[in-house]
A and B are shown apart, each in its own frame.
Chain A
């Protein structure tokens, strides 16, 4: 493995008295496509939210690209990160949400171009050109002037992917991005992600219930339960030949619920 782009070391997280992550450690290699699977409440979404700095951690340390995420060095000592440090670190990471979270008062184009203008100092016309390229890539250029309310769920999610890509993150986090979609719209979003995975060397972390997609998309699959990694390995191994009893039970349940594996 190359120097990891994400290094999670001994991270714990509780919501109130409820522990969500328990002394969690793992690494992600640059360019790796990692799928996190597991039952609801297993902590997989929390990991993405911590990486996006939407949730704090209670213990442990995370390094992104060699730099601590939630900490910073001051006079040789590791202290809690301040807003300026978090701002710098967020530039490396993009996130796509289950419920899209597009800005409803802005057009699709403005949604994509806004952050590059505000955070990267691009002019409006530079940002718009870049945004149109991205919208082209996700098949949304004809909807550039529409407001999110006029889009289908699949179109919203493709626009949200373009918005996250506009900041050229090194790491992209996909949090159950097809869970809120009608079944017939899932495909168009997965196709875009497939294209991304093939065409870019971005590191991608994916939390999903689409097992067949995880199998197809990921270099490595991690099965979570109770805030811990139960089993990790190449998709073929996890899906066809899981070692752990809990993984087997989970996959049986998912198949019974009608998901293809």
Chain B
């Protein structure tokens, strides 16, 4: 087993194409997970059982099944029901949907941590339910959640290679195709690993800093 520098440099452009898709999928998936998770958390708190119950069941269903199964469902089963999604759309939706059920838990914990007095003061100052959420509850609940949310986004980033299973040409898929074509696995797979390390390690360091910054109570 020998490292071939020339080969490594030669495959860089193709791997770079994959890197772009990987980053794109992570960012879009994160955006979906962040917003959908918040909506799920708010819906689960609803006093109306016709809203809170089905949303709860939906979240359990998603959390109880593997992401890979969900990706297959979105990409290979939905077309049978008449909904055809591009690989990247299906992949981003899958990542976003899957992780939204986890971020919803983070949001829920953060929202529950807001003292009852804040809700009561909002009522006493005659704020509407929407105003209470947007001006009082969410701005206080989000900062302490940032480390936990960031943690899920690093996890999501590391799961993007699963998208290869539904033909998304992200980094892992590009590396595999290069490797299969040349029958050389050491360089492409090592480079994939190094790329993930290069993003994950600084992310973890950043996470530690976020935790240190937001850990003490902000009141």
Where the two chains meet, the residues of A that have a C-beta atom closer than 8 Å to any C-beta of B are 52-54, 83, 87, 90-91, 93-95, 97, 99-105, 114-115, 118-119, 148-149, 163-164, 167
B139 at the interface (CB under 8 A from A): yes
Known A-B contacts A99-B117, A114-B135, A149-B219; A105 and B140 likewise in contact (beta carbons under 8 Å) = yes
Q: How far is the CB of A82 from chain B (nearest CB, A)?
A: 13
B180 at the interface (CB under 8 A from A): no
Q: Find out whether the CB atom of B131 lies under 8 angstroms from the CB atom of A118.
A: yes
CA distance in complex: A148, B118 (Å)? 13
CA distance in complex: A94, B127 (Å)? 12
Among residues of B, the one whose C-beta sits closest to the C-beta of A88 is B126
Where the two chains meet, the residues of B that have a C-beta atom closer than 8 Å to any C-beta of A are 115, 117-118, 120-121, 123-129, 131, 135-136, 139-140, 218-219
Which single member of B117, B135, B218 contacts A118 (CB below 8 Å)?
A: B135
Which single member of B124, B127, B131, B218 contacts A104 (CB below 8 Å)?
A: B218
Contacts A103-B118, A167-B126 supplied; 16 other A-B pairs, CB < 8 Å: A53-B123, A87-B128, A90-B123, A90-B124, A90-B126, A95-B124, A97-B121, A101-B115, A102-B121, A105-B218, A114-B127, A115-B126, A118-B127, A119-B125, A148-B219, A164-B125
Q: Find out whether the CB atom of B121 lies under 8 angstroms from the CB atom of A101.
A: yes
Q: How far is the CB of A86 from chain B (nearest CB, A)?
A: 9
Q: How far is the CB of B128 from chain A (nearest CB, A)?
A: 7
Q: How far is the CB of A109 from chain B (nearest CB, A)?
A: 14
Q: Which residues of B have CB within 8 Å of A164?
A: 124-125
Q: How far is the CB of A160 from chain B (nearest CB, A)?
A: 8
CA distance in complex: A53, B120 (Å)? 9
